[in-house]
Amino acid sequence: MEPSQLVQIGDINIETIISSIVSLLTGTAAGIFILRRRLSKDNVEITKDKAEGDLIHYLENQVKRIDLEREKHLNRLEKAEQERLQMTEKVFKLSAEVESLTLQLKVLRDLTNNLSNNIELYRKRVLQLEEENLELKSKFKSKSCN
């Protein structure tokens, strides 16, 4: 038998079958390698996606925490501003009251000075009247004795 006859049995060519099987195995192996590489890349991508998701979740939590702190600070600032306005209003009222009391004090000082001056005038007048009275008494006595 010739080698070409061994390779061919009837209408079937064994070389063609073997080459088809080798091609099929090579294609399958290549497919498996490609699939394995793809799955490996998918795992890497999945890991990256999970890490990115975790990072995004962490950053979102940080943003929420910062927003809460910001709200707290804004509330404190608003309270402080309200207290400042109340204190400013109180200062204005007290300033007006001090001004009013200062004016009243000036009026009282003026009245006290006037009263003091009047008392001094009345005292002098009383002394003068006492002197006149003494003079009149002495004149009256001298007339009555005569």
Residues 48-107: pLDDT tens digits?
A: 888 888 888 999 999 999 999 999 999 999 999 999 999 999 999 999 999 999 999 999
Where on the phi/psi map is residue 77: left (φ > 0), alpha (ψ -120 to 50), or beta?
Answer: alpha
- CA distances from residue 59 to 4, 18, 48, 54, 71 in whole angstroms, order as listed: 73, 60, 16, 9, 18
**How much of the chain is helix, strand and coil, in % rounded to 5?**
95, 5, 5
Domain count, the chain: 1
Spatial separation of the C-alpha atoms in residues 136 and 130, rounded to whole Å: 10
| This prediction's pTM | 0.45
Q: Using the Cα atoms of residue 103, residue 109, residue 112 and residue 113 in order, give the sign of their dihedral.
A: negative
Residues for the chain: how many in total? 146
- 127 is in which domain, residue-wise? 3-145
Please check the confidence at residue 4 and state whether its pLDDT lies above 70: no
Name the β-bridge partners of 8.
13
